[in-house]
Amino acid sequence: MSEFRTQFKKDNPNNKSVAAVGKAAGSKWKSMTDAEKAPYVARAEKAKEEYEKTLRAYNNGLAESKGSAEEEGSDKSKSEVNDDEDDDEDDE
């Protein structure tokens, strides 16, 4: 899409509409053959795999940090703790 957007801007320097770029890109995509689409599909699949790998690592990190927070034994959520602190400040 970035390649198409760059070429579209060169061909249409006065057009600032995002919708126009999207429509033109969609029309071009529909007119392409599967062979022409293949490099873009492969790039999208690679990006998706990388995203899923990063997401799994992030979620694993959250699970580990959540487990250590539960080990501390606090029954209060962060908002309840903050509410208690606010109440203490009002008493002063």
Residues 19 and 50 in one domain: no
Residues 24 and 39 in one domain: no
Tally of domains in the chain? 2
Identify whether the C-beta of residue 8 lies closer than 8 Å to the C-beta of residue 24: yes
**pLDDT score of 38:** 96
Identify whether the C-beta of residue 26 lies closer than 8 Å to the C-beta of residue 1: no
Residues 46 and 72 in one domain: yes
Residues 7 and 41 in one domain: no
Q: Is 8 exposed, middle or buried (0-12, 13-18, 19+ CB in 10 A)?
A: middle
Residues 46 and 84 in one domain: yes
pLDDT (tens digit per residue) in 33-83: 999 999 999 999 999 999 999 999 999 988 887 766 555 555 666 666 666
Whole domain around residue 8: which residue ranges? 1-31
Closest listed residue to residue 84, CA positions, set 76, 92, 75, 73? 76
pLDDT (tens digit per residue) in 3-28: 888 888 888 888 888 898 889 989 99
Identify whether the C-beta of residue 29 lies closer than 8 Å to the C-beta of residue 37: yes
Residues 5 and 18 in one domain: yes
**pLDDT score of 13:** 84
